[in-house]
Amino acid sequence: MGSIRLMCRPTIFLDRDGTLNEEVNYLHRPKDLRLLPTAANAVRLWNQAGFRVVVVTNQAGVARGYYREEDVKHLHEFMNQVLAEENAHIDQFYYCPHHPEHGIGSYKVRCHCRKPDIGMFEQAQRDGRVDKEHSYMIGDKWIDIEAGFRFGVNTALVGSGYGLKMWTEYQEEEKLRAGNTGWKTDDWENVSELSKERLGYFGETLLDVAEWVLRREGKK
């Protein structure tokens, strides 16, 4: 008897803080959650287009003892309730509770799930096969782009959160490199690894990125 082949599905991997919601220092209380203005619209477009939408988020606050894993799960449930009011939803949330240096007890570990490593992506792959050619990692930090590249999906940087600062610094560095000035910033070692093939797109808002994805996939 032949094995059953699961259908691959295009997947949107989203960072959480600074991408879906406003940056709040160690966000864990539902009352502090503020979705970014275009986030629900973007998620709804992906839902309607047939993408599986998942969140992959580093949650070092758990490792540091600031809040519990149960608090993370509760916040994610609340986020989906808020999104549901806009006819949108996240299909699955994945989080890393570890930190290699500042963790407490068993949470102090150099794990495989903390971005830019790809453990959360691999778990998503086990939970439902990912069509990597038509999937995307979207976030506001270089570690999000690097994680997406390592996993083998398309990438986009969003201008919310830290994204605009990252993008502006990247453009400045590219100009300086072209001019052979030899000048470097402390962050250039990380940025220089992100060749143009790693960073597929920059959008000012998550809705801009969603519309780019749909155009690229012929769904708009």
User: Per this entry, what is the length of the chain?
Assistant: 220
| From 15, 91, 117, 140, the catalytic residue | 15
136-139 and 52-58 beta bridge pairing: unpaired
Cβ–Cβ under 8 Å, residues 12 and 52 = yes
The token pair that represents 155 in the structure block: 């990438």
> What is the rounded CA–CA span in Å between residue 32 and residue 10?
31
CA-derived radius of gyration, the chain:
18
DSSP 50: T
17 catalytically annotated: yes
Q: How far apart, in whole angstroms, are the C-alpha atoms of residue 13 and residue 124? A: 9
Both tokens of 204, joined, read 């000012």
Query: DSSP class of residue 92?
Result: E
Strand partners, 93: 55
Contacts of 65 (CB under 8 A, 6+ apart): 104
- Both tokens assigned to 65: 């003892």
- The active-site residue out of 17, 91, 117, 140 is 17
Residues labelled catalytic:
15, 17
